[in-house]
Structure 1
Amino acid sequence: MDRIELTSDLSLSRIVYGMWRVGDDADTSAAHVQAKIEACLAQGITTLDQADIYGGYTAEAILGEAFKASPSLRDKVEIVTKCGIVAPAGRHSSARVKHYDTSAEHINASIEASLRDMATDHIDLLLIHRPDPMMDPDETGAALDELVASGKVLSVGVSNFRPWDFSLLQTHMESELVTNQIELSLGETSAFTNGDLAYLQERNLAVMAWSPLGGGSLMTADGALADAMTKIAAAQGVDSAAVAVAWLLRHPAKILPVLGTNNLKRIAAISQASQVVMDRQMWFELYTLAKGHEVP
Structure 2
Amino acid sequence: MQRIALTEDLSFSRIVHGMWRLAEWDMSTQERLTFIEQCIELGITTFDHADIYGGYTCEGLFGEALRLKPELRDQIEIVTKTGIKLTGDFNPGQTLNHYDTTKAHIIRQAERSLQELAIDQIDTLLIHRPDPLMDPDEVAEAFTALHESGKVRTFGVSNHLPSQQRLLQSRLPFKLVTNQLELSPMQLKHFEDGAVDLCHEERMPLMAWSPLAGGRLFSEEDYAPLRDTLHTIAARHDVSGIDTVVYAWLLAHPARILPIIGSGKIERVQSGVEALKIELTREEWFEILKAARGRDVD
Shorter-chain TM range is over 0.9
Check whether the contact 2:5–2:12 (CA below 8 A) recurs between aligned residues: yes
Conserved 8 A contact 1:60-1:118: yes
Q: Distance in 2 between matches of 1:90 and 1:174?
A: 37
Q: Which residue of 2 is the match for residue 184 of structure 1?
A: 183
1:36–1:264 Cα contact (<8 Å) kept: yes
Does the CA contact (< 8 Å) of 1:128 and 1:158 recur in 2? yes
Q: Which residue pairs with 1:250 in the alignment?
A: 252
Match of 1:212 in 2: 211
Alignment-derived partner of residue 136 in structure 2: 137
Superposition pairs of residues 5-84 of structure 1, within 5 angstroms: 5-27=5-27, 29-84=28-83
Looking at structure 2, the residues matched to 158 and 16 of structure 1 have their Cα atoms a distance apart, in angstroms, of 16
Post-superposition CA distance 1:227-260 (Å, at most 9, x none): 1111222332231110011000000111001111
Q: Which amino acid aligns with 2:91?
A: H
Matched residue, 1:232: 233
Deviation at 1:90, TM superposition (A): 4.2
| Counterpart-to-counterpart distance in 2, 1:160 and 1:144 | 18
Whether contact under 8 Å (2:39, 2:266) holds in the other structure is: no
Q: Across the two proteins, how many residue pairs are aligned to each other?
A: 295
**In structure 2, what residue type is equivalent to 1:133?**
P
Deviation at 1:264? Answer: 2.6
| TM-score under structure 1 length normalisation | 0.97
Match of 1:4, SS?
Answer: strand
Please state whether the residue corresponding to 2:290 is helix, strand or coil: helix
How large is the RMSD of aligned CA atoms in angstroms?
Answer: 1.1
Q: Counterparts of 1:70 and 1:141 in 2: how far apart (Å)?
A: 34
Partner of 1:113: 112
TM-score, with structure 2 as normaliser: 0.96
Q: Deviations over 1:134-165 (max 9, x none)?
A: 11111111111111111100000000011111
Work out whether residues 157 and 165 of structure 2, in 8 Å CA contact, stay in contact via their aligned partners in 1: yes
Cα offset, 1:219, TM superposition: 2.2
Amino acid at match of 1:284: F
**3-state SS of paired residue (2:286):** helix
Tell me if structure 1 keeps the 8 A contact 2:157–2:178: yes
Once the 2 structures are TM-superposed, how far is the Cα of residue 272 of structure 1 from its aligned partner?
1.0
- Cα deviation digits, residues 80-99 of structure 1 (max 9, x gap): 00000000134224321000
User: C-alpha displacement at 1:285, in angstroms?
Assistant: 0.3
Structure 1 distance, partners of 2:151, 2:92, is 26
**1:239-295 deviation digits (Å, cap 9, x = unpaired):** 111001100000011100111111132223320111222010000000011011111
Deviations 1:87-117 (A, max 9, x none): 0134224321000000010011101110000
Residue type at the aligned position of 2:290: T
Counterpart code for 1:230: H
**Could you list the runs of 5+ residues in structure 2 that have no partner in the other structure?**
none
- Which amino acid in the other structure matches residue 163 of structure 1? P
SS at match of 2:17: strand
Alpha-carbon distance in 2 for matches of 1:81, 1:277 = 31
Query: Which contiguous aligned blocks of 4+ residues in structure 1 show a shift greater than 6 angstroms?
Result: none
Give the drift of 1:217. 1.2
SS at match of 1:293: coil
| SS in structure 2 of the partner of residue 102 of structure 1 | coil
Say which SS state the counterpart of residue 178 (structure 1) adopts: coil
Check the 8 A contact 2:243/2:271 in 1, yes or no: no
Question: CA distance change for structure 1 residues 72 and 160 in 2, over 3 Å: closer, same or farther?
Answer: same
Counterpart secondary structure, 1:151: coil
User: Which of these residues, 251, 261, 282, is aligned with residue 263 of structure 2?
Assistant: 261
